[in-house]
Amino acid sequence: MPDSPQSEPPPAAPAGRDFATLYRATLSPLRRYLSRLLGNTTEAQDIAHDAYIRVYPTITTKPTEQPEALLYLTARRLAINRLKRRSISPIHHGAADLDTAASASPSVEQQVMARQELTLLETAIAELPPGCRAVLLLRKVELFSHREIADRLGIAVSTVEKQHARALRLLRAALPAETTASTFPASTSADPEAQA
């Protein structure tokens, strides 16, 4: 009788495959959840896309036990931020006239440029000193306050502030001006959580 297929554990899937599996399994339910939360399917698609981008580095570098929970938590935070911005925005978010509305999808040129900028940004972040990189990712990707980062890393808030400022300075020096202007604003003092 041949050996049982359970006698040997299957090889671990590469991190990219794990993310692809997560993406396929959660895309439709996540969009439905965000559509109910936001009341707008287009915004739900945007927020879902942003959430996947934000959790990708975490899931691929250090596998978590509950990647779906991390994804939904990130998406919920982004949706709540969108709802807050919507409530203070003077622009009405009603249904648009689809016959006269501009296409929401980016052109091929915009997509290529965005991919190139993302590649430059990933390279620049990878070249940051480890302390700066950890603080930057916790601040910009995980949306932690300086206090939360200090607690997580076991360092002083002033050290977090210095590492964050240094990371932004190094990225501005390493990237073209148009990339840093949209990704990392010149002044972080307007950031309401920067002092938290």
Local confidence band at 196 (pLDDT 50, 70, 90 cut-offs): very low
Q: Are residues 76 and 126 in the same domain?
A: no
- Give domain status of residue 4, yes or no: no
Distance CA 144, CA 131 (A): 15
- Give domain status of residue 116, yes or no: yes
pLDDT digits (tens, 9 = 90+) for 152-162: 999 999 999 99
Range of the domain at 81: 15-88
CB atoms within 10 A of CB 52: 19
- Give domain status of residue 3, yes or no: no
Q: How many domains does the chain have?
A: 2
pLDDT score, position 108: 80
Q: Are residues 23 and 60 in the same domain?
A: yes
Q: Are residues 113 and 169 in the same domain?
A: yes
Q: Would you say residue 10 has pLDDT above 60?
A: no
Distance CA 164, CA 120 (A): 19
pLDDT digits (tens, 9 = 90+) for 56-113: 887 778 777 788 888 899 999 999 988 888 777 655 555 555 555 556 677 788 778 8
pLDDT digits (tens, 9 = 90+) for 31-56: 999 999 888 888 889 898 888 888 88
Which distant-in-sequence residues (6+ apart) come within 8 Å of 79 by Cβ?
A: 34, 37, 38, 44, 47
Last residue of a domain, one of 23, 54, 88: 88
Report which DSSP code applies to 66: -
- Give domain status of residue 46, yes or no: yes
Last residue of a domain, one of 53, 88, 123: 88
Contact yes or no for 161/188 (Cβ under 8 A): no
Give CA separation, 64 vs 10, 22, 49, 165, 175, in Å: 19, 12, 20, 29, 31
Residue type, 97: D
pLDDT score, position 165: 93
pLDDT digits (tens, 9 = 90+) for 69-84: 888 999 999 999 888 8
pLDDT digits (tens, 9 = 90+) for 99-152: 555 566 777 887 788 788 888 888 888 899 999 999 988 988 888 999 999 999
